C-alpha cells in the first residue's frame, strides 16, 4: 500500500513540476514578445520618418523613367 502511495505521490509531483515548467516557458515567451514590441515602438519613436511631397515623388519618377530608357537602349 505504501509503495502505491509513493508512486502516486511521485507521479503527482512530476506532473506539478511539468506544469511549472510549462508556465515558465510561457512566461518567457510573453516576456520576449513584450521586449520585441517595446523595441519596435522605441525604434519608430527614434527614427524620423517624413512623407514625400509631390515634387520629390515626380523627381523620383523622372529618374526611374530615365533609368528604364537607358537600360532599354
Which residue did the predictor score with more confidence, 73 or 66? 66
pLDDT in tens, 37-56: 999 999 988 887 777 677 77
Number of domains making up the chain: 1
Structural domain including 58 reads 2-72
Where do the H-state alpha helices sit in the chain? 2-46, 54-72
Whether pTM exceeds 0.75: no
Which residue did the predictor score with more confidence, 36 or 19? 36
Predicted local distance difference test score (pLDDT) of residue 38: 97
Query: Using CA atoms in the order 46, 47, 50, 51, what is the torsion angle rounded to 10 degrees?
Result: -110
Predicted local distance difference test score (pLDDT) of residue 16: 60
Amino acid at each position: 500500500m505504501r509503495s502505491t502511495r509513493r508512486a502516486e505521490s511521485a507521479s503527482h509531483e512530476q506532473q506539478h513540476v511539468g506544469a511549472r515548467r510549462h508556465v515558465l516557458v510561457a512566461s518567457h515567451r510573453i516576456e520576449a514578445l513584450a521586449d520585441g514590441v517595446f523595441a519596435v515602438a522605441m525604434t519608430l519613436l527614434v527614427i524620423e520618418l517624413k512623407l514625400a511631397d509631390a515634387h520629390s515623388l515626380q523627381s523620383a519618377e523622372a529618374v526611374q523613367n530615365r533609368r528604364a530608357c537607358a537600360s532599354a537602349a
